[in-house]
Amino acid sequence: MIRSIIVAAALAVSVQAAVPQNLDVIKERKQTMKDNGAAAGATAKMLKGDAPFDLATVQKSLNTFISASKKMPSLFPDDSKTGGDTRALPAVWADKADVDARFAKFGQDATDALAAIKDEASFKASFPPIFKDCGGCHEKYRAAQN
């Protein structure tokens, strides 16, 4: 009887250890990235000439990026490395200082663009570095989609 209890307890502990403890933060991280993707999509169409320039949409997108840049560093706790179909690579946790610096740069670039963009010309001049910020982080820290 005692042996059965010990085995059951050991199994419960091993199952608990195998399951990520923070699926909520993974869900929030993924939603924040989806919001960024939607904001980027709207502005990418404008940059390509597939949609007319709209300052209000650009400002909304930049505010989405600024908000995300502040929130994202806290959305990579150690207990969110696996599960929830996360595409974050282990490199995120191995080089957290670089990840945090990239989010800070992303936020600063978006803040600077928000102040600078007044018309289509300033949009086309100011927005590309923001996409470069996104791409650089994704190349290094995000797994390819299956």
Q: For position 6, what pLDDT does the model report?
A: 59
Per-residue pLDDT of 109-119, as tens digits, reads 999 999 999 99
Q: For position 3, what pLDDT does the model report?
A: 61
Per-residue pLDDT of 86-103, as tens digits, reads 999 999 999 999 999 999
What is the value of pTM for the model shown?
A: 0.84
How far is it, in rounded angstroms, from Cα 29 to Cα 23?
A: 10
Tell me the one-letter amino acid at 125.
A
CA nearest to 41, candidates 28, 26, 60? 60
Q: Which residue has the tokens 């930049």?
A: 62
Q: For position 54, what pLDDT does the model report?
A: 98
Task: Identify the burial level of 26 via C-beta atoms within 10 angstroms of its C-beta, where 0-12 means exposed, 13-18 middle and 19 or more buried.
Answer: buried
- b/e map of 46-72 (b: 16 or more CB within 10 Å)? bbeeeeebeeebbeebbebbbbbbeeb
Distances (CA, A) of 8 to 3, 4, 15, 19, 20: 9, 6, 11, 17, 20
Q: Please state, rounded to an integer, the average pLDDT across all residues of the chain.
A: 90
Q: In the chain, where are the structural domains located?
A: 22-141
Per-residue pLDDT of 11-53, as tens digits, reads 544 444 455 478 999 999 999 999 999 999 999 999 999 999 9
Q: How would residue 145 be classed by pLDDT, with cut points 50, 70 and 90?
A: confident
Q: Which fold has domain 22-141?
A: Four Helix Bundle (Hemerythrin (Met), subunit A) (1.20.120)
Q: How would residue 5 be classed by pLDDT, with cut points 50, 70 and 90?
A: low
CB 5 within 8 A of CB 23: no
Q: How would residue 1 be classed by pLDDT, with cut points 50, 70 and 90?
A: low
Q: How would residue 129 be classed by pLDDT, with cut points 50, 70 and 90?
A: very high
